[in-house]
């Protein structure tokens, strides 16, 4: 999966609609302290489904919404879109898709995939299958370098599973196990009903 473009509006210091094109090769973001470099990386992680406000340096999720300055009023919503290009696989055609996350004060977050409303879980699976996502080892923020070095073996294993693209399988396995248990309970109930009728 390639990330081709990031669009932000009302996200942290990016109050005006802004666009960052990510061309093939290496992309560098430079600027003075406090200009918003880390906010860009956080916008990427947020749109991919980051659920922890603390890891976005906030107290609550609404802290990602532009909070206003001495000269500008706060905004009521923040929206971030990522344009991705998916490689074709045996089961899907690939191609471009746009994932959007939006938060409004008092209403929580909503996600869209190519304009259609989707669940947070769908977005998480989309990125987990492509070995990326809000906790991808490919997104290394300043304070994460120390965390990677100090990680416990189980945490390292999780990082390796994400890098190998198999963490989406864990979520699917849990879903499948739940469905299996429900089906087994239904079968047991059916057997009981049949034996009562015999």
Annotated binding site for ATP: 32-39
Please report the beta strands in 49-140, taking only residues with DSSP state E, as ranges in sequence order.
77-86, 95-104, 108-113, 116-118
Q: Does 37 bind ligand ATP (CB under 6 A)?
A: yes
- 127, 111 Cβ separation under 8 angstroms: no
Query: How far apart, in whole angstroms, are the C-alpha atoms of residue 116 and residue 111?
Result: 8
Q: Does 46 bind ligand ATP (CB under 6 A)?
A: no
Query: How far apart, in whole angstroms, are the C-alpha atoms of residue 147 and residue 158?
Result: 13
Which parts of 17-152 fold into alpha helices (H)?
Answer: 37-47, 120-129, 144-150
Beta bridge partners of 85: 2, 96
Q: Which of 20, 63, 86, 137 binds ligand ATP (CB under 6 A)?
A: 63
Q: Does 148 bind ligand ATP (CB under 6 A)?
A: no
Q: Does 28 bind ligand ATP (CB under 6 A)?
A: no
Options 26-34, 86-94, 100-108, 124-132: segment touching ligand ATP (CB under 6 A)? 26-34
Options 36-44, 83-91, 94-102, 122-130: segment touching ligand ATP (CB under 6 A)? 36-44
Provide the 10 A C-beta neighbour count for residue 91.
5
Min CB(155)–ligand ATP separation in Å: 24
Measured from the CB atom, the residue of 79 and 162 that comes closer to ligand ATP is: 79
Backbone angles phi, psi at 6, to 5 degrees: -125, 130
**Location of structure tokens 């005006």:** 16
Query: How far apart, in whole angstroms, are the C-alpha atoms of residue 180 and residue 174?
Result: 10
Q: Does 12 bind ligand ATP (CB under 6 A)?
A: yes
Min CB(59)–ligand ATP separation in Å: 11
Q: Does 104 bind ligand ATP (CB under 6 A)?
A: no
Which residues of this protein are in contact with ligand ATP, per CB under 6 A?
Answer: 12-13, 31, 33-39, 63, 65-67
């Amino acid at each position: 999966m390639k990330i081709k473009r990031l669009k932000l509006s009302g996200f942290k210091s990016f109050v005006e609609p802004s666009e960052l094109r990510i061309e093939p090769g290496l992309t560098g973001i430079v600027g003075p302290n406090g200009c918003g470099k880390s906010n860009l990386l956080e916008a990427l992680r947020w749109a991919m489904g980051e659920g922890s406000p603390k890891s976005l340096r906030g107290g609550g999720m609404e802290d990602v919404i532009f909070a206003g300055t001495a000269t500008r009023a706060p905004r009521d919503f923040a929206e971030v879109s990522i344009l991705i290009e998916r490689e074709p696989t045996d089961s899907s055609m690939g191609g471009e898709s746009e994932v959007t996350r939006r938060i409004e004060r008092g209403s929580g977050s909503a996600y869209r995939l190519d304009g259609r409303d989707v669940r947070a879980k769908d977005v998480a699976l989309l990125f987990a299958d492509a070995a990326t996502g809000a906790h991808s080892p490919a997104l290394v923020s300043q304070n994460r370098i120390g965390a990677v070095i100090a990680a416990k073996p189980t945490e390292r294993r999780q990082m390796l599973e994400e890098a190998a693209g198999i963490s989406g399988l864990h979520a699917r396995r849990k879903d499948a196990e739940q469905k299996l248990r429900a089906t087994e309970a239904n079968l047991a109930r059916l057997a009981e009903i049949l034996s009562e009728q015999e």
